[in-house]
Amino acid sequence: MQSLNLTQQSLGLAAGLARLQPKADAVSSRISSGQRIDRPAVDPAGLSQAAKLDAQQTRLGAVQVNLQNGISRMQVTSGQLGQIGKILTRMGEISALATNNLQNAKDRALYSAEFTQLQDQMRQSIGGSTAEIGGAVPVDKPTATFNGQALFGPSSGETLSIGLQIDEQLTLPTLNFRSGAIGDIIKQDAAGAYTFKLENAGVPAALNSALDQASSGSATIGAVQSRLEFTSGVVTTAKTNQEAALSVIRDADIAMEATSLSRLQILSESHNAMLAQARDASANILKLLGRG
C-alpha cells in the first residue's frame, strides 16, 4: 500500500509540474517580447483596440509632419516678407532723399539707380508671367519659394490635414503680390522699363500702400503660424496620451512578470525535489521488498 501511495504522489507531482511549465513558458515569452498580448488568444478585444490605436498613431505622425511643413512654410514666408518690407522702407527713404534740390543731378541719378535695383530685387523675389507683371521676359523662377512653389503669386488654395478627421484641414493664405500696390511697383512695360519711377508723382503714397499690403500679409502669416504651432502642440499631446494608452493595453508589466516567473520557478523546483524524493522512496521500498 505504501508503494501505491508513493506512486500516486509521484503522478500528482508530475501532473502539477506539467501544469506549471506552460505558465512559465507564457511568462517567459511575455518578458522576452515585452508584449502582454503575445498571441491573439490572450486578449482579442485588447488586440483589436491596440490595432486601432496603432492606426491613429500613424495618422497623427503624418499630421505632425504636415504641421511642421506648414510651420516651416510660414517661417520662410515671414522671412521673405521681412525682406520685402526692408526694400520698401529703403525705397521710401530714397524717395525722400531724392527730393533734396541741394543735390546735383549726378547724385539724384545714383538714387534712381539704387531705386531700380531694389525694384529688380523685388521683381525677382515675387516673380510672375509677363501678363501678370509685364516686361519682355517673365520671371519663371522667383527666389521667394518653398518646395518649388512661389510664395507671392496666385494660389489654388493649398490645404493641410491637421487632425484625425478628413475635414480637419487648414487652407494656407494666398499672398498675391503680383497685383495691388506691390504689383504696381514691379510692373514693366513691353520694353522692360519700370512704369513706377522715382521721379513719378505720388511715390511716397504708393510706397506706403505697398507697405500696408506687406504688413497685412505679415499679420495673416503670423496668425496662421500661431494656429499651426498651437495645433502641433495639441497633436503632440494627443499622440503622447495615445502612446500611454497603447502601452497599458499591449506592453507587459516586466516587474510583475518577473515576479510571476520567479514564483513559478520556485514551485517548479519544489515539485522536482519532491518528485525526486518520491522516486527515491519507491526505489528504497522495492529494495527492501527484494531483500525480504
- Mean pLDDT, the chain, rounded, equals 81
Residues 6 or more apart whose Cβ sits within 8 Å of residue 101: none
CA dist 92 and 84 (Å) reads: 12
Task: Provide the pLDDT for residue 165.
Answer: 76
pTM of this structure = 0.72
DSSP string, 204-236: HHHHHHHHHHHHHHHHHHHHHHHHHHHHHHHHH
Q: Categorize the per-residue pLDDT at 55 as very low, low, confident or very high, splitting at 50, 70 and 90.
A: confident
Instruction: Give residue 240's pLDDT band: very low, low, confident or very high (50, 70, 90).
Output: confident
pLDDT of 276 reads 65
What pLDDT digit, counting tens, does each position of 102-140 carry? Answer: 777 888 889 999 999 999 999 999 999 999 999 999 999
